[in-house]
Every structure is written in structure tokens, then in C-alpha cells.
Structure 1
């Protein structure tokens, strides 16, 4: 039986972009200035980009604050777009906004948000909740479920955590993360760091590094002290990067997964560390 398209069907442009309407009220703020106030945004997936971005009708954007970009970027993807600098007083934000090519997305403007070198707006909100890094993908799920599984985490042969009361976090496209009560983690084996990351699904994470030797990447352990409401059950619990430790679940050793975080973890460079994407832990 055929299915008629709905108002929320994902559509494809001739240029290869995917898009669909969103009913969320989205606002973007720079300093004290609300630059975007939109009740009719689109979610747009660019070719080669794993997460969506918002595009906003021009009438819901402060176009009076946009100027033609003084130094627009170049390259295959940039050449078909019109870029704008944002001027809210003070130093303009370079290439803060742009248009997408083609007829389908004409009349919409998007703003720098995910993995852009130049700074963007200070805060983004969906309804009354602040979100970070990138818009949440409505086609992905993040479920945090309390469990009675027996989870043991070892680092270089040392048991770092042992629990029978984890919260399992299932996130589309990522390995299961095991969030463990602090009482069941050997926190004396770790030291807190000043690293933090933001995840659009979970919030702001704080980190710890392994005190011992061995080839263990920094910031291997994290926690969300004040998670977003949808994953409130992980509040204050601790999780390890499966990519860098040995995890046994109900007596079965789990192979270390290879994910988008693997290279970043072991490269040892701050610029390459995950910033929530998808998220990890944290992207």
C-alpha cells in the first residue's frame, strides 16, 4: 500500500541536500541581541555532514544585521552560497550566515553552528531549552535506561569500576555507553581535568583522566552533573569511552568499538577531541 507524503517528510533537493520542516520555536542570540526568532525553521542535512542544521525564513532573521561577507570562504561547497558577516556592534562575525543553493531552500538563511572555525551566535534555544553544538536530529534516539547488568571496567588490568546498577545509554549510531554510580567507580585512580564538552542531547560534561601510566588517552571518564531532562537518569553518573577501556558485561567481554572518537582520543590533540555529535559521551 502506498503512503502519501506528510508535512514532515524528508525531501531531497537536486543539489543533494535533505530537508524537512520543524515545528520547534528556535531562537539564536548574540550578546543581548536576538538575531533569529523562528517558528518555521527547516532542518537541513548537507551532503557529507552527519548532523542537521537549521535554515530560517528571511523574515524571521534580523537581516538588518547582516552584511555581504568581506572575505567569503572558497572551495567546492562554499562557491555556490552567499555568505554574510553579522554586525551587532563591535567586531563583526565573519561568515556567520549563508544561503543554500537551489530553488528548494531559496528564501532561507542558516547560521554557523556545527564545526565552524569562526565564532557564531552565543546561545541557541529550542522552545525554552538551550541546545549546544548542533540541532537535535529527530531521526535519532537517545534512551537512558536503568539496568541490573553487571558491568566491569578495566584499564591496563586494573578494575576501575564494578557495578550491578548501571544506566545504559543507547544513542543512534554510537556504542552503548554505561553510566555508573560514583560509589562503584575507583575515582581515586583518576584526576579531574578542566576539559568540558557539550552535547545537544545530554548537556555539558566534565572529565577525569587516568592517573596511571599505560597508553590511556586523557579525559577518558566523564559525567553530566546537570543533564538535559530527557536523560536525567544519568545525572552525576560516570561513563568511560568504550574505545579506550576494557568493558565486561554479564561476564562477556566487549570488543573496543572503532568510532568517530577513536582517532580523536588517541591523537592527543585538543582540536581533534570530540565536541558532542553526535556525542559520546559527549560529542
Structure 2
């Protein structure tokens, strides 16, 4: 999760009166439900809604199997920036409610959007940009994710107890998020944590596994994570572990860092309650 993207003024992004940002994409995008290709487009459009930090695609009608769409039986209200026209998807022997919709913006007339199954309980199963499968949401072309090996000194404490100390971190810089410090496992007191069955997916990094603090104190669950098989762009973090800066005390080169306030802060507080 990120804050709303800060796009360069000279970019091709345009704004609708409804507050949507949109930009044509040159990527070949396909979406499948089971064995059925529902979307096959070489002219997708990226759309940012005012209340969502990540983009989504909309597609020209001609690039969508509209014969598989039915007017929604129970369309939602107050979802997707004023959208009132929703569709149920009937494909591969299953009906998924409210899997697609249209935005009311004139600029996006003739285009259809789809939910992504891994973000909700509806939508399509698999998405591809060119021949690479992508997950959770489309990747933002205005966002960077860089994983850089470093020799900086990183210490992590929880309730005053030292749980990690290393001079061999990998710093992960991701647009609109605080720097994350990926640490060698041998420099982390993993004996103080228990593995959980929680996992998350990221279109930039891959699938993460989690650990929770075994000790006392008001510490949220799933505070520590790792990517066993990260995507190639961040291969340097493979097998390393990182903490939520929002919930632990990190000292970098002798300077105690402030805990950042991010959308993850609210998620962590909710998990602790």
C-alpha cells in the first residue's frame, strides 16, 4: 500500500472531472478466468481512483469477452468512484458477482474495468503483462523499487530488547514508503519469534512469509517478514528478514529513527486490538 502517486507534470496522465487519473499504457495485458481468456488488450488504460493508492486497468470493449458479462444482480453502492454499472462474470462454469464495471467518466467511455481475484473474492484468476504474470494489482510505471546492499549499521529493538544487529543490510527503497531494512537471518534473534501462516503478495517483490513476536508487550502480530523467492528486480532481499518500521525501534548508524505513520500503521494497530 502506498500514498497517492506524485506524477511528473510532463507525463501523459490526465484528470477527469470525477477526480480519476488516467494514462494510456503500451503493455499487452491479458486476464483469464480458469482456462478462459476474458481480456486480451494491446491498448489498456491505467486508472488511479482518488481513494486508492495503486492503479488498475480498464480495457476497450473490443478487447473484452463482453459475451461473458451479465448486468449485475446485486450491484454495490459507493464503490469505484461513482460507478453504477456493474457486471457479473459467467465463465469457466462459475459466476462471479460484480467482477467488472464501467466508470462514469466521459474520458473512459467504452472501457471496462475488472476486479483482481487476489485482492477480492471476485474478478479474474490470472493477469499477464506481456508474458509475465502479475499479482495483486498492476505495477505503477511511476513507482520505483530498488534493493541496494549496504554496510550501514542497523539495530532493531522491541520494547527495549535488542532483536537484530547487523552491518550487512539490504536497503529497499520503494516510492512513497519508508525505507525497509532487510537483514541477514544470522543477525536476527529469530528464536524470539514464531512463524505464522500469514502471507501477502506484492507485484514488485513477490510472496512474503511472516513471524510474530513471542515476547510480552503490545506488539502487533506478523511484525517480521521475508521473501523466500522474490521477483528478479529485488533478488538481493532473498531469504533476508525485515521489520515493520512502524512498530519497532530502528537505530541507523547510531541515530534512532522515528516510527513512520503509514497505512500499515493503522493495519498494525488493528491487528494488535
What TM-score do you get using the length of structure 1 for normalisation?
0.88
Could you say which residue in structure 2 is the equivalent of 1:58? Answer: 61
Could you say which residue in structure 2 is the equivalent of 1:224? Answer: 227
Could you say which residue in structure 2 is the equivalent of 1:259? Answer: 262
In the TM superposition, residue 192 of structure 1 has moved relative to its aligned partner by 0.6
2:32 and 2:38 in contact (8 A); partners too: yes
In the TM superposition, residue 116 of structure 1 has moved relative to its aligned partner by 6.1
Mapping 1:40-119, distance limit 5 Å: 40-75=43-78, 80-113=83-116, 117-119=120-122
Q: Structure 1, residues 74-130: CA drift from partner, whole Å, max 9, x if none?
A: 237565431110001433100100111132111111101389654221111212222
User: Paired residue for 2:246, among 243, 254, 266?
Assistant: 243
In the TM superposition, residue 165 of structure 1 has moved relative to its aligned partner by 0.8
Tell me the SS of whatever aligns to 2:106: coil
Runs of 5+ unmatched residues, structure 2: 1-8
1:186 matched to 2:189? The reply is: yes
Runs of 5+ unmatched residues, structure 1: 271-283
> Aligned in 2, Cα 1:67/1:38: closer, same or farther, shift over 3 Å?
same
Tell me the SS of whatever aligns to 2:40: strand
Tell me the SS of whatever aligns to 2:155: strand
2:205 and 2:234 in contact (8 A); partners too: yes
2:219 and 2:272 in contact (8 A); partners too: no
In the TM superposition, residue 10 of structure 1 has moved relative to its aligned partner by 0.5
Distance 1:110 1:206 in 2: 30
Could you say which residue in structure 2 is the equivalent of 1:204? Answer: 207
In the TM superposition, residue 191 of structure 1 has moved relative to its aligned partner by 1.0
Distance 2:96 2:16 in 1: 29
> Aligned in 2, Cα 1:237/1:205: closer, same or farther, shift over 3 Å?
same
Distance 1:22 1:252 in 2: 43
> Aligned in 2, Cα 1:68/1:54: closer, same or farther, shift over 3 Å?
same
What TM-score do you get using the length of structure 2 for normalisation?
0.91
Tell me the SS of whatever aligns to 1:168: strand
Question: Which moved further from structure 2: 258-267 or 144-153?
Answer: 258-267
